[in-house]
A and B are shown apart, each in its own frame.
Chain A
Amino acid sequence: MNHDPPIRDACRRAWLAAYAEGQLEGTTRAQVEGWLDEHPQLWAEIQEQQALGQTLRQMMDATAPSDPSAATWEALAQRIQAASVPAQHAAAPVPSHCRQRGLVRIAAVTVASALFLGGVVGLQNQLPGPTLDPPQIGQVDPLSAHPAHDDSPSPPLSELTGISCLTLVREVDVLLERVPHMGEGWLPIGRPPLEGPIQWIHQDEIEVISFASHSSGQQNIPCLVYAEGDKPLLWTPVRE
């Protein structure tokens, strides 16, 4: 007896399934047909595979949502836009950038919905059939549990309520008042208090008018520390 190893058996089943679905062409199809001629008992498996594929297609057709009409898409877009604008601002004119963001959001939701639906259909197409027992056509009516057209009202877009058109601040609109030193690599958003490199003052750019320290109590005695070429620096004595 010639028993195919499991991997060969898996490959064989894959080739047979592909042949049953009409996905093979040319040389590959001829090889499979030659193999079927040598093993006519496998035609039963081919027929079983075709019946299973037919059942799966019927199930997918039954459960796939109908393609919404243009009016439905428009109504959905209006609902999303209405949910995106707070009630208290509904009467106010919508700025152009808000409208643009709303359209972008609508487009994003539409694309995401289309991708989701496409992904669901595609996932169903790629579900492994052999792990499921093929239903007997005529005994099980998968359509009865999943009507093709559901006229019940769609759930409210509660997750979208409360989303308002946020006017984001620009960098030039932010003026940071106090910034702790966060180390290298930290770039604050907006104008930091320390703008650019520190430029220290020169001797001829400052003039001390009066000075009084806690310890000396001296008045009108500038105690700037500088020699020729040094930068001016006020050095106050340490409290003794």
Chain B
Amino acid sequence: MLVPLCCLSWSWVVCGESSAQPIRVTVVVILASRAHGPVDPVLEELAREVRKRDPQLQSFRLVATEAQSIPIGQQSRFTLVEQQQLQVKIDTSLDARGRVRLTVTAPGVDQLSYTCVCDKYFPIVTPYRTRNGETLIIAIMVKPCTLSSQDPPSGGRK
């Protein structure tokens, strides 16, 4: 009688642990300018999409990338530019469709809740303008923290 109960409780604990894994949130901070300048090669596709809405944005540069592991139900802040911050809250873990629900608060965005798949970046063009007149763009990506200590790094940009 006790053995099945133990197995059941153990499996529940294991499942609970796996589902409660934190979500790794990666934020890419981008600045776009109307002045002539280069487009970072990794941002060319984003530049094409943004220019459909504002063709005057000429240059796109990567300012920083930041990643944090956020437990389910908790929130964390990411530093953007010029004291601006992005707040990300993980609402739910992976659902049946493999999506994560999160709520973000960014400059010009009081509250945005959405669900998205993992490993894909969702861009947000904020209304914030830097002192140099550059437009702040944020790209957010989530993924479960499935990396183990033995996983090799994928390498940086060369």
Residues 129-158 of chain B, each 1 if its beta carbon lies under 8 Å from chain A, else 0: 100000000010000000101111111111
Excluding A175-B67, A192-B65, A192-B157, 17 further A-B contacts by CB distance (< 8 Å) are: A172-B149, A178-B64, A181-B64, A191-B154, A192-B153, A194-B62, A205-B116, A206-B122, A207-B116, A209-B113, A212-B112, A213-B108, A233-B123, A234-B123, A237-B108, A238-B129, A239-B108
Instruction: Check B153–A236 contact: CB distance below 8 A.
Output: no
| Residues in chain A near residue B122, CB distance under 8 A | 200-201, 206, 232, 234
Q: CB distance B152 to A235 under 8 Å?
A: no
A172–B64 CA distance with the chains assembled, in angstroms: 21
- Chain A to chain B contacts (Cβ below 8 Å), 13 pairs: A174-B153, A179-B156, A194-B65, A194-B156, A200-B122, A205-B116, A205-B120, A206-B115, A208-B113, A213-B110, A214-B109, A225-B53, A236-B109
- Residues of chain B in range 29-83 having any CB-CB distance to chain A below 8 Å: 40, 42-43, 45-46, 49-50, 52-53, 61-68, 79
B93 at the interface (CB under 8 A from A): no
Contacts of A190 in B (CB 8 A): 153
For chain A, residues 181 to 235, give those with C-beta under 8 angstroms from any C-beta of chain B: 181, 184-188, 190-202, 205-215, 225, 227, 230-235
- State in angstroms the CA–CA spacing of A191 and B53 once bound together: 34
The answer to whether B68 touches A177 (Cβ under 8 A) is yes
A10 to B154, CA, bound (A): 65
A interface residues, how many (CB within 8 angstroms) = 52
Interface residues of A (CB under 8 A from B): 171-181, 184-188, 190-202, 205-215, 225, 227, 230-239
Considering the chains assembled together, what is the distance between the CA atoms of A227 and B116 in angstroms? 19
Closest 3 CB pairs of A and B: A193-B67, A201-B120, A178-B66
Q: Which residues of chain B from 97 to 132 have any CB-CB distance to chain A below 8 Å in the complex?
A: 99, 101, 108-117, 119-127, 129
Q: Are A192's CB and B125's CB within 8 A? A: no
Tell me if A234 and B125 are in contact (CB < 8 A).
Answer: yes
Most interface-central of B50, B99, B123 (chain A CB within 10 A): B123
**Distance (whole angstroms) from the CB of A89 to the closest CB of chain B:** 24
User: Cβ of A181 and Cβ of B63 under 8 Å apart?
Assistant: yes
A207, A214, A233: most-surrounded residue (chain B CB, <10 A): A233
- Tell me the complex Cα distance, A232–B139, Å: 11
Closest Cβ neighbor of B154 among chain A residues: A195
Question: CA separation between A174 and B9, bound complex, in Å?
Answer: 35
Q: A202 to chain B: which residues have CB within 8 Å?
A: 120
Task: Report whether B65 and A193 are in contact in the complex, using a CB–CB cutoff of 8 Å.
Answer: yes
- Of the candidates A188, A206, A236, the one having the most CB atoms from chain B within 10 angstroms of its own CB is A236
CA distance A225 to B122 in the complex (A): 12
Q: Is A181 touching B124 in the complex (CB atoms < 8 A)?
A: no
Asked whether B117 lies within 8 Å of A171 as measured between CB atoms, the reply is: no
